[in-house]
Amino acid sequence: MTVVTLPRLAYLALGGTIASVDEGTTGSATGRAGAVPRITAADLVGGVPAIADIAHVEAHQLGLLPSPSLGFDDVQRTLDAAREAVATGSSGVVVSQGTDTIEETAYLLDLGWDRPEPLVVTGAMRHASAPGADGPANLLAAVAVAADPAAVGRGVLVVLNDEVHTAASVRKTHTSSTGAFTSPGTGPVGLLTEGTPRFRTPAGRFPALTRRVAPLPPVALHRVTLADDGRVLSALDGLGYRGAVIEGFGGGHVAGHTVDAVRALAARMPVVLASRTGAGETLTSTYGFPGGEIDLLRSGLVPAGRLDGLKARLLLATLLAQDAPPDRIHREFAARGRGTPRAHHT
């Protein structure tokens, strides 16, 4: 008789919708108390019996917060707990949290995750009291991915709705749909079929940048808009920011009348040029009008490539925390802005 040895995984829970229940009605003006995080990590795992057929999961409660309240320190605590787990025998780690900030926390985790073991982030779009709650299925899928040897060497992955996304590409693109998470321009790197992960790409990742993702220096994120007069850009230096990311129009453009403000800002701090479109790479050599990408890059701005403004902000802040010189900032964005490589194993 063959004895199957199941992998050992650590489960780190931070709260969020996956841990939330509707507390019903109140005497307030709205009459609704709404859903709030209440369910513990142990109860979440215990509520999905099929997990026990995949792995031995040790549940750890790191917090019971809605994800808008998470900060860099929470990401660092998660990294420290994940490292401790794999150092003491876990072959992978699952993290659950609210979905509002997953695209940011997962990328910051990836910048700091220096281990080959899978670190898989999941959550839910429907709270546990809602009909069709997706939390149990997402947690089961995340455990299946973290337990799969094919997930080794891929860095941080995000698993929801039976899809596997890289931390660098995933975005939340809908307010409430269970299919809210997508990877614009690339699609998921894997899918789960009948509970089994199927990866579409070879394992590979960029190396971690640091073991410390907190504290990070303040980096501003500014999205340009029609008739933007540039006054926000002119104020950033006086507000104590160490760097800035500008989400430009289209392929990376600003209005001609704001070019002077952009140039002045780039003379005082590193400025990264991303696109507000949400998909595709920033251009580098197509448009030559004042405020076009050729003009802006000539003024010292750093092209973000495929990275959107949210992720570009985190990458720039992580580099500034290391006092990275301008040439290194350019190199890191040039490499990481192209997407996940095929042959950068941890």
CB 332 within 8 A of CB 168: no
Q: CA 185 to CA 162: how far, in whole Å?
A: 19
Phi first, then psi: give them for residue 265, nearest 5 degrees: -65, -45
Q: CA 65 to CA 279: how far, in whole Å?
A: 30
3-state secondary structure 110-161: HHHCCCCCCEEEECCCCCCCCCCCCHHHHHHHHHHHHCCHHHCCCCEEEEEC
| 210 assigned to active site | no
Extended strands (E) in the chain: 8-15, 20-22, 35-37, 56-65, 92-96, 119-122, 156-160, 163-166, 171-172, 181-182, 190-193, 196-199, 219-223, 243-248, 271-275, 302-303
Active-site residue among 2, 17, 26, 186? Answer: 17
Cβ atoms < 10 Å from Cβ of 227: 7
Residues identified as active-site: 17
